[in-house]
Amino acid sequence: MPAVSKGDGMRGLAVFISDIRNCKSKEAEIKRINKELANIRSKFKGDKALDGYSKKKYVCKLLFIFLLGHDIDFGHMEAVNLLSSNKYTEKQIGYLFISVLVNSNSELIRLINNAIKNDLSSRNPTFMCLALHCIANVGSREMAEAFAGEIPRILVAGDTMDSVKQSAALCLLRLYKTSPDLVLMGEWTSRVVHLLNDQHMGVVTAAISLITCLSQKNPDEFKTCVSLAVSRLSRIVSSASTDLQDYTYYFVPAPWLSCKLLRLLQCYPPPEDGAVKGRLVECLETILNKAQEPPKSKKVQHSNAKNAILFEAISLIIHYDSEPNLLVRACNQLGQFLQHRETNLRYLALESMCTLASSEFSHEAVKTHIETVINALKTERDVSVRQRAADLLYAMCDRSNAKQIVAEMLSYLETADYSIREEMVLKVAILAEKYAVDYSWYVDTILNLIRIAGDYVSEEVWYRVIQIVINRDDVQGYAAKTVFEALQAPACHENMVKVGGYILGEFGNLIAGDPRSSPLVQFNLLHSKFHLCSVPTRALLLSAYIKFINLFPETKSTIQEVLRSDSQIRNSDVELQQRAVEYLKLSSIASTDVLATVLEEMPPFPERESSILAKLKKKKGPGAVSVNELEEGKREAGELNGGGERGGDTHSPTSLPLFSQTTITHSFSHIISSSLVLEDRMQNVVKNNHKQMFFCF
């Protein structure tokens, strides 16, 4: 075992590490560490100048202690001193220390930059690489200022060694990411692009990462890379497995480089030049063909490498969204993976299909897999795979399968992990609204949502169902009836009470004819839940009560009795007390006409411009909003106001007396009249979910 026979084994370090490992408790460990720290401190301060080897050993010990998780507040100077040693190992440790324990002391920074400068100009490739690695690892602004001009020169110089070029490319990439304003490609652009043609595959591999990043920010300047990338890719894909020698990985030619080339191409639209495009399409077809061939090796590394290229190629095909033939083939390939033995492949296939689902060419093809996806939702044991299946169902949903998908998602919701419920609820609500032909189905779905996952039904969701019921005459009676029945359940969620209270308050008259849902029965039903509810819900119920008085004069005395009771008019909550008092007064002194005017049926909510849909952040994958959805959304919004006349000027909002605006509508004055808010909300919830994801395992 050559654990310490390679190079020098710092004996003291090994012993120290052993000691730490043998500590029986955290206290013992801290004690041993402090002892060592004191020792090192005294050695550093000591009169005798330390030799390089000792300095290196102590700096390495400090590094070890830091990586264990303890704070280190000295040693930087000694580490910086090591940089100017001409012994490689000492330099190496010095660089490692300062890369890990980044210090912002300006004097130290100056010394470090000096050392780096010396190593860069040393013409010794090993030293140059050390310096470049350090810059890439730290990537500070000070380093960018000092070296951003020098590194491109090193990168493209004819006499730079290949290994140095590789490090220089990625070093420059790091600097560009952290300080883009200091990395000016200008005169270097074409030479850097030309690196794609380099003989050395390693140089190409490193350079392409740099070029990809630069292309994203400056596509026009780097667009010559596209044809070079295509020819490079073409050569790799058509090469035999022996051609690329050490760049072949388990019988797959240059998989990393292939993936990077395919990624670079995703920064640009399909090539305009016919020949280039033809070559690329041929490439993609070859990759898809290879997936059908029997594998050259049973090893998982072979299939991972091969499939990595395949998935990246499919990403490119989806990105182009212009070759129907390729899109359908991609879809079929993914369909095969949906049922693969390996969980990883099933996961990735579900993820990839989500993006495919939003393309108009492949949307139909994706839908053919609905049964497999539903099955995955029900039977996959890994919750992250189940979640992907849910995302895919959401993405492939349209008019033709909405009922089926919503039903499946609802039943999934009954047993879903708590951390993903809110996201699921929003998705179901959005789908139900988007694809509702029959709005009673929509009402049923939302009420089911409340029943199954009431805690996770956010305000936006139940505000929305109320808005829709208000806006559509044809569903009001159904809504009243359904909500009345739902409220009869012994343990019904507070959100149900809110929805029920509001709807019965507005439309209870539509079911009052039936003795089973007579006005008094409705009132008693609502009031039986009253004491179980929170203050905002009670406030809503009080509003419903005054509406009842207007709708059903026979309930007036009963309700007034309730309003008059101490628990209402002397309630410690100001809002409740105010409402009780005002409503009581209103019911006593207003004539029936005034009461009717004040408590008129709620007017329809105006729909906001659907252009807000276009502003929605495009979420990569599952929640993405495609152009098709934008168009559909615009149509849906118009339909929402359908269903009958509302007739009569007295119903228009502007003619309502101010009183009703403030008391009746003030609790809903901030209602957002658009389903787009639900989508917005969902994006936020999904982001938050990922922060909390670990609880669900």
Residues numbered 10 to 29 that lie near another protein (CB under 8 A) are 10-11, 14, 17, 21
Residue type at 555 in one-letter notation: T
Query: What is the rounded distance in angstroms from the CA atom of residue 693 to the CA atom of residue 697?
Result: 8
- For residue 202, state whether it binds another protein (rule: CB under 8 A): yes
Name the minimum Å distance from CB 430 to another protein.
20
Stretch near another protein under the rule CB under 8 A, chosen from 188-196, 254-262, 329-337, 448-456: 254-262
**C-alpha span between 419 and 137 (Å, rounded):** 36
Binding residues among 453-482 for another protein as defined by CB under 8 A: none
Q: In the window 493-552, what residues touch another protein (CB under 8 A)? A: none
Binding to another protein in span 412-431, by CB under 8 A: none
Q: Shortest approach of another protein to residue 500 CB, angstroms? A: 37
- Per CB under 8 A, 239 contacts another protein: no
Q: Does 685 bind another protein (CB under 8 A)?
A: no
- Closest approach, Cβ 343 to another protein, in A, equals 4
User: What is the token pair recorded at 217?
Assistant: 């920010």
Report whether 396 contacts 366 (CB < 8 A): yes
CB of 160 to another protein, least distance (A): 14
| Buried/exposed 534-559: b ≥16 CB within 10 Å, e otherwise | eeebbbbbbbbbbbbbbbbeebeebb
Provide the minimum distance between the beta carbon of 456 and another protein in the complex, in angstroms, as a whole number: 19
Among 209, 286, 411, 626, binds another protein (CB under 8 A): 209
Among 46, 69, 274, 515, binds another protein (CB under 8 A): 69
Beta carbon of residue 391, minimum distance to another protein (angstroms, whole number): 10
| Cβ-proximal residues to 458 (8 Å cutoff; 6+ apart), any chain | 422, 425, 426, 681
Closer CB to another protein, residue 314 or residue 551? 314
Kindly state whether residue 30 participates in binding another protein, applying the rule CB under 8 A.
no
Task: Report the alpha-carbon distance of residue 357 to residue 626 in Å, rounded.
Answer: 9
Beta bridge partners of residue 248, listed in sequence order: 253
Return the H-helix or E-strand segment holding 249.
strand 248-249
Q: Work out how close the CB of 130 gets to another protein at its nearest, in angstroms, rounded to a whole number.
A: 9
Closest approach of Cβ 444 to another protein, in Å?
A: 32
CA distance 494 to 457: 10
Residue partners of 456: CB distance under 8 A and separation at least 6:
418, 421, 422, 424, 425
User: In the complex with another protein, which residue's Cβ is closer, 197 or 368?
Assistant: 197
The reply to whether 6 sits near another protein by the rule CB under 8 A is yes
Structure tokens at 262: 């395919």
Specify whether the CB–CB gap between 549 and 506 falls below 8 A: no
Query: Given the complex with another protein, which of 6 and 516 has the nearer CB atom?
Result: 6
CB of 356 to another protein, least distance (A): 16
Residues 316 and 252: their CA atoms lie apart, in Å, by 20
3-state secondary structure of 304: helix
Q: Which of 44, 188, 251, 256 binds another protein (CB under 8 A)?
A: 256
The residue count for binding another protein (CB under 8 A) is: 84
Tell me which residues in 569-598 interact with another protein (CB under 8 A).
none
Residue with smaller CB distance to another protein, 255 or 500: 255
Q: Quick one: 346 or 464, whose CB is closer to another protein?
A: 346
Q: Does 326 bind another protein (CB under 8 A)?
A: no
Q: At what angle do helices 324-337 and 343-357 cross, to 10 degrees?
A: 150
Q: How far is the CB of 209 from another protein (least distance, A)?
A: 4
For residue 305, state whether it binds another protein (rule: CB under 8 A): yes
Contact between 299 and another protein by CB under 8 A: the answer reads yes
92 lines the binding site for another protein (CB under 8 A): yes
3-class SS at 153?
A: helix
Which is nearest to 358 in space by CA: 309, 389, 392?
A: 392
Q: Which C-beta is closer to another protein: that of 126 or that of 401?
A: 126
Name which position in 385, 390, 395, 685 contacts another protein (CB under 8 A).
385
Name the minimum Å distance from CB 612 to another protein: 23
Q: Please report whether residue 279 would count as binding another protein according to CB under 8 A.
A: no
Choice between 185 and 305, CB closer to another protein: 305
What is the C-alpha separation between 506 and 528, in angstroms, rounded? Answer: 19
**Binding residues among 605-644 for another protein as defined by CB under 8 A:** 620-621
SS3 248: strand
Single residue of 37, 96, 316, 637 touching another protein by CB under 8 A: 96
**How many angstroms separate the CA atoms of 557 and 549, rounded?**
9
Q: Which residues contact 254 (CB under 8 A, 6 or more apart)?
A: 201, 236, 244, 247, 248
CB atoms within 10 A of CB 411: 15
CA–CA gap between residue 305 and residue 253 (Å, rounded): 9
CB of 252 to another protein, least distance (A): 9
The stretch among 29-37, 180-188, 321-329, 343-351 that binds another protein (CB under 8 A) is 343-351
* Distance in Å, CB of 165 to another protein, minimum: 10
394 forms part of the interface with another protein (CB under 8 A): no
Measured distance CA(513)–CA(515) in Å, rounded = 6
User: Across-strand partners of 249?
Assistant: 252
Phi and psi dihedrals of 252, rounded to 5? -105, 120
Which of 277, 346, 529, 681 binds another protein (CB under 8 A)? It is: 346
Long-range contacts, 272-280 (Cβ 8 Å, 24+)? 273/227, 276/226, 276/227, 276/230, 279/230, 279/231, 279/234, 280/230, 280/233, 280/234
Residues 125-184 binding another protein (CB under 8 A) are 126, 129, 132-133, 136-137, 139, 163, 166-167, 169-171, 173-174, 177-178
Stretch that binds another protein, among 30-38, 251-259, 477-485, 638-646 (CB under 8 A): 251-259
Question: What is the C-alpha to C-alpha distance for residues 193 and 212, in angstroms, rounded to an integer?
Answer: 10
For another protein, the closer of residues 117 and 263 by Cβ is: 263
298 near another protein, judged by CB under 8 A: no
Tokens read off for 489? 């359940």
